[in-house]
Amino acid sequence: MSFAQALLEAIESLNGNKMRSGLTVLGIVIGVAAVIAMLAVGNGAQASITGSISSIGTNLLFVFRGGPDQARGPGGGTARSGNNERPLTLGDAEAIADPFAAPSVAGVAPAIQGNGTITYAGETTTTTFSGVTPEYAIVRNMELAEGDFINGEHINGRMSVVILGPETADAIFGYHDGIVGETVRIEGQPFRVIGVLVAKGGGAFGSEDDAAYIPFTTAQARLIKRDSRDQVDVIFAQATSAEAVTLASDEISNILRQRHRTPIGDDDFTVFTQQDFLQTFETITGVLTIFLGGIAGISLLVGGIGIMNIMLVSVTERTREIGLRKALGARKKDILMQFLTESSLLSFIGGIIGILFGWLIAFVVGKVATATGNTFTPIVGTDAILLSTSFSAAIGLFFGIYPASRAASLEPVEALRHE
């Protein structure tokens, strides 16, 4: 029996039991669609996160207080603190900015950060606000949709001015255009809005758009209290190029070791790079994608078991037909090919429909995310299509082997006597 003959007979057999064949295919459709949709969501999440991090520059470095096993985040918290640990200071930032000590560093911006409420005309929102210097906008690659950034005059005069992220502006104004000159209250104190940032999306520490920035000196004096006046929470540094990031990291580490008088291996600070954050988030989202794909793969397994059950029923129903075929000269491999072709055809049809259905689910998820204001686009990758298609074909063969082998092993005389 040729493959073409086996295929025609398989189509004829499946067509004779449309309802049963359709329900069997449905199991594979659901499994393949789930795999496609889950992997698309995982890939989309990974692309969204890494894209947002990369958008603020691949040559950015973050310096935190605390060693690698206890590094503090932007708010200054940590799991534990060392007895001899020194905080980061403005003096540290000035030393890093020295072009002779750190020639690979193009810019430095210290910052202190905290959380608080911003109110306007009865509307209130809680956000992260940062005390920053004029260099912050350059180091962080920030763009203004309107207005101006903090300058030296604001720093020297400890002026009550604020730059708002678009999400923060939307939360209290309902819009983020034409608000320069308005007065908001941060922790009950009045601040004049002098600028609004361009929407950028999520960053290494949350949304870059849900934030407020005030002059460093104003934050020190009125909003964010630290142990000493020159203490900072984080130092942002910009390398001269993406290729110089590693060298800049080494130069920063050497400067801080000399200033803090700590030996190598006993640092009381941590230097992170954008690549560090990218690798961390890629690892997390990669594991999440595999986990989601694995859960969806269970649906494929259930669909495969459905194929095996239906094929076993088909073997039982067609026992006399099998006996007659073998009596007329059909070989064992012909019977085996016939039933394997039927199970594979079921799996193949289910796989094709499942791919289309999975793509449709991913498309709908992307539209819903866009409608809710989230910049998230599921990505249906070729790898997901090949994986789910190959897996469904393998399931069709694997779960079809036992029924096909059982049919091929029937003795002609016993099969013909079957009622």
User: pLDDT tens per residue, the chain (419 residues)?
Assistant: 566 766 676 677 666 677 777 777 887 888 888 888 888 877 777 777 666 665 655 688 889 887 666 554 544 444 334 445 688 899 999 999 998 998 999 899 999 998 889 999 888 999 988 999 999 988 888 889 999 999 999 999 999 999 999 999 999 998 888 899 999 999 889 999 999 998 876 554 456 788 999 999 999 888 888 877 788 999 999 888 878 888 998 999 899 988 888 877 778 888 888 777 667 767 777 777 777 777 767 777 777 777 777 767 766 666 666 666 666 666 767 777 777 777 778 778 888 888 888 888 888 888 887 777 666 678 777 777 777 777 777 776 777 676 667 666 666 655 455 55
Same domain, 14 and 81: no
Same domain, 73 and 131: yes
Pair 269, 67: CB distance under 8 Å:
yes
Amino acid at 165: G
Amino acid at 365: V
Residue 62 lies in a domain: no
Contacts of 81 (CB under 8 A, 6+ apart): 66, 70
Largest CA distance in the chain: 104
**Lookup: tokens for 241:** 């190029």
Same domain, 98 and 134: yes
Backbone angles phi, psi at 98, to 5 degrees: -65, 115
Range of the domain at 113: 67-267
Same domain, 286 and 252: no
Among residues 214, 238, 267, the one where a domain terminates is: 267
Give the number of domains in the chain: 2
Cβ of 283: how many Cβ atoms within 10 Å?
11
Residue 61 lies in a domain: no
Residue 377 lies in a domain: yes
Same domain, 124 and 253: yes
pTM: 0.60
Predicted pLDDT of residue 326: 64
Same domain, 239 and 316: no
Q: Is the dihedral of CA 167, 170, 176, 180 positive or negative?
A: negative
Same domain, 243 and 96: yes
Same domain, 124 and 236: yes
Buried residues in 241-262 as b, exposed as e (16+ CB within 10 A): eeebbebbbebbbebbbebbeb
